[in-house]
Amino acid sequence: MIQRIQSLYLLLTTLLPFLFLKGTILSILNNNGSGFTMTLRGIFQTTGEQVSELTAKPLILQLILILITVSSVIALALFRKRRLQMKMVFIVMILAVALSGIIIYHIISLSSETHMSLIPGYRMFLPLIILLFALLAYRGIRKDEDLVKSYERLR
């Protein structure tokens, strides 16, 4: 199971969503330091250095992160059933694209409403890294499946 490189990729897609637990995902600020900060717990409106109020709670973001983790663990456990494992990794890829879309939606909606500038953080790019590792895992599983099919043809 761990001998295959795609298992390492799936392990990384399982662990990367835990980086969302602490810290800010994105910040949108104006010149005087007021603006919006998005964390996993919600979107907060900030005034200067103080966090003032919770403006929105993105529950779908939390749900997608949980589903990515659970789907990756299930795909990691299905190492003997490659076709089912490929389907689970495909689900992880769809969820990573959805997570990227939600973050982009919040960036566009918050910056266009308030005419503020985006302060990028590394957590904004984590869905793309999750998608990359899921694609690499899918490719490795597909190679294994093709190799098994070629051996069956030779029999």
Q: Write down the domain spans for the chain.
A: 5-154
Q: How many Å is the Cα radius of gyration of the chain? A: 19
Residue 122 has a CB neighbour count (10 Å cut-off) of 10
pLDDT at 1: 46
**Residue closest to 9 by CA, chosen among 112, 117, 141:** 141
The model's pTM is: 0.85
pLDDT at 6: 87
Given CATH 3.10.110, say whether it is the number of domain 5-154: no
pLDDT at 51: 65
Task: For the chain, list residues with pLDDT below 70.
Answer: 1-3, 33, 48-54, 113, 154-155
Residue 83 has a CB neighbour count (10 Å cut-off) of 9
> Which residues, 6+ apart, have CB-to-CB distance to 61 below 8 Å?
40, 99, 102, 103
For the purposes of burial, counting CB atoms within 10 Å of the CB of 145, is it exposed (0-12), middle (13-18) or buried (19 or more)? middle
- Residue 115, phi-psi category: left (phi > 0), alpha (psi -120 to 50), beta (remainder): left
